Structure formats: C-alpha cells, structure tokens
Amino acid sequence: MLSKEQSDNLVVLVTGASGYIASHIVKQLQDQGYQVRGTVRSLGDEEQVKRLNELSPEAQFKLELVEADLTKPESWEPAVKDVRYVIHVVSPLTAQAPKDDSEVVQPTVEGTQAVLKACVSAKSVKRVVLTSSCVAVGWGPGADLTKTFTEEDWTDPEKLDAQAKSKTLAEKAAWDYVKELPDEDKIELAVVNPAYVMGPVINGSQCKSLEVVKRLLEREKPFVARLNFPVADVRDVAEANIKAMTMDEAAGKRHLICSSNMWMKDMAQILAKEFKSQGYNIPTSNCPNVLLKFIGIFDKTVKVVQPNLDKVYKFDTSRMKDVLQLTPKEVKETLIDMAYSLIESGLVKKSKKYKGPNAGGEGEGEQEGEKKEEEKEEEKAKENGEVTEGKKEEDGDVKKEEEKEEKTETEESKEEKKEETKEETKEEVSEEKTEEKKEEEKKEEK
C-alpha cells in the first residue's frame, strides 16, 4: 500500500477501464493506494460508470474517468495530462470476424500509436505498459509446436486471424515507435503477453474470454472439442501489468503470463464436479475430430476452432516468475471463480438448484471436512503422546462388541416371535376343538 506522500503526485492512466482485464487493473491499483484515471468511450453510460466507481469502495482516491477513443487521436492528450504511468489495455473487439482485417488492425495499430504520441507530448509519462498477447509470440499455422516459445519469438502476422494480427502488429508498432524516439523524448515501454485469459468478471462486461466457461455451463453443445488452452488468470494478468509498470528490470522487455495448459475436457470435468449438484448439466465427453469437421459444415462456431484441434502451445514463463516475481493461480481456482462470477453477474442464468459460491460438491465437501477433523484429532493425540493405533484398536473392539450385542438382540427377538407364533397356533387349535365339541353335543341332543 502506497503512503499518501508517495501517491499524491502519482497518477496512473488505464485505457479502456471498463474492460475485462482493465477493470481488474483499476481495482488492484486503487486497492494499493494509487490515484487512477480510467478512459471510457462514453461517460453517458451511467451503469458502466457506477460499476467502475464501486470496484474499490475503500480506495484512498476516487476513480477519475475521462472520455477517449482509439479512433480519435485528439482525445488522448487530455487523458494523459499529468500522468506518470500509462497501462494501455484497450483494443477494438468485434463480435464476428470482420470482412476485411483492416477493420480491426488499423484502429488497433493507429490507436496504440496515438496513445504513445500523447504520452510523449505530455512530458510527464515515465513508462507505458502495453497489454499484448501470447498470440504475438507463437501461434497459428506454421508455428513450431515442438518448442517452448519465449519472449524472443514473434508470430508471422500474415498467418493470423484479424484479432490476433491486430495484437501482433500493434505491439510491433509500439516497439518501433519507442525505438525511433529522440533521446529528449524517450519513454520506457514494457509489454505483458498473457495467454488465454480466464477468471472472475467484476464489471459485468462481455468479451471473448468468457465464451468457453459460459458455453460449458449453458451446455451449448452436448460435447467438448479436443482443444488445449494455455490459461492465464485475469487477476495475475492485472498484477503483472502493475509490476511491469514500476520494476526496473521490466523496462524494455516482454513478459509471458501463463498458469499452465489444460484440455477443454479437463476444464469441463472440474466445472461438472462443482456445478452438477447445482443444476448445471456440463458436457464432459470429447467429440471425434472427424465428426466435428462434419458439424463445422453447418455450424460456424465449430468451424472456427477446427484449426486448433489437438494443438498444444507451450510458453516459457521464467520472466513472470523470476523478474515480476509472480506466482500464478491454479487453473482450477480460475475456472470455478469465473463460473460463479458469470452466474452471480447474470451472464449465465441461475438454475433452481443453484446454491452459490462454496456450495458446490456438498457431499464431497462434508466428507473432506470430516476427514480433516479426524486427521487433526490424530495429530493432537500424537502431540500429547497418545498412541493413536491403540485407540483405533480400542474403537475396533468397541465396534465388535456393539455388533455382537446387536446380533444377540436380533436372535432374541427372533425367538420371541417364534414363541408368539406357537402360542397363537395353540390357541387356534384349541378354538377349533371347542367348536367341534359343541357340534357333537348338539347332535347328541337331537
């Protein structure tokens, strides 16, 4: 946490503050005591502004919001005025693949250049942190999947889709721009290259990162594809951006951020274990690639993923651990937290059986709790010098005695029932004989 003296004249600008990654950066910066200014496309979106202002209720400084747009270069100079650090996250996103790549590439590249030019003009900016992507490092057709990609690698942008191409070319443009600056205008640049970003949504925004978990929860398809994801937790990505902003060793470098790789089927199984008892029928069976290709003829969402079937991209995260000193979260935690946030925020409908966070897999949770309690008792016993094995034997003897007593009681109960049955039979026979005797007496009288 920064002291008031440290943060008084230290303003950090976060571009696209309402975005999935950016909102986490804003929150973490505010929680740490920074003065934060965020850009949004329109201050007229009252709901969006309200959510942003509620990200860090205990913040030392109120979040300042300003309007800025990648397609309006003139909007950036007022945004960066008196700013020390800029974390540039925003990039144009399209719901569908554009007809022409330039529709996405041009505003991304030119927007990044506009932000950098404004930073130079401001004369107050020390460093810019650019959120790029692992797709700019190693991805797509022709990528050597036998190797582990490092920050030294670059993807051939011409072999990428529009979104990935825009990320790659924007990062290249940023490095080129900073390199060509005269000494009197020099600013530092650090880049964060996250893998497939997943994790909790804290501002209700929709983006492509949500699609995998959302589709599994909603059972959009009754199967899963043979897809492998290098996963980065959104909270780790936010932390990496903030560390890259201030650490001396981060300047002039790229930083790959990735927790680990996971197959879609394994993701589905993690989610099923947590949410099946809460009314979510998550598919966990792989669909054969041949069948997927056939389905892809009629379904565009399936066709899009076909180039990545069975492909595993591996990234070297040494700089993440050694330079940024970041220990990533487990993918299981990332997935479960993300799923709950989607349900809680209304992006996925609540089922009738939904119980909320920490309620999934209730039976297993209780068993684990009991097991932990037993282990604690055993540990205490050992500390007190008690012999736990002897206790177990004693418990076993008591159990045997109880079983023996139960057996005896059962046998006695059976005997009692037999006696009752015999008595009832005797009574019935006696009644029959009495009836016969009465009949004989009547005959004699006649």
- Under DSSP, the state recorded for 338 is H
* Residue burial 262-300, b: 16+ Cβ < 10 Å; e: rest: bbbbbbbebbbbbbebbebebbbebbeeeebeebeeeee
How far apart (Å, rounded) are the C-alpha atoms in residues 87 and 34? 13
Nearest-angstrom CA–CA distance, 149 and 101: 26
- CA distances (Å), origin 80, targets 39, 61, 261: 10, 18, 37
For helices 234-246 and 20-31, what crossing angle results, to 10°? Answer: 60
CA distance readout (Å), 122 to 84, 127, 231, 341, 369: 10, 12, 36, 38, 57
Task: Check if the beta carbon of residue 397 is closer than 8 Å to that of residue 403.
Answer: no
Task: Please choose, from the candidates 287, 282, 192, the residue with its C-alpha nearest in 3D space to the C-alpha of residue 236.
Answer: 192
**Is-catalytic flag, 167?**
yes
What DSSP element (H or E) covers 159?
none
Q: What is the DSSP letter of 67?
A: E
Distance, in Å, from the CA atom of 156 to the CA atom of 142, rounded to the nearest integer, reads 9
What b/e readout covers 314-348, taking b as 16+ CB neighbours within 10 angstroms? bbbbebbeebbebebbebbebbbbbbbbbbbbebb
Beta-strand relationship, 127-131 and 188-194: parallel
The residue annotated as part of the active site, out of 27, 167, 265, 329, is: 167
Residues that are catalytic: 167
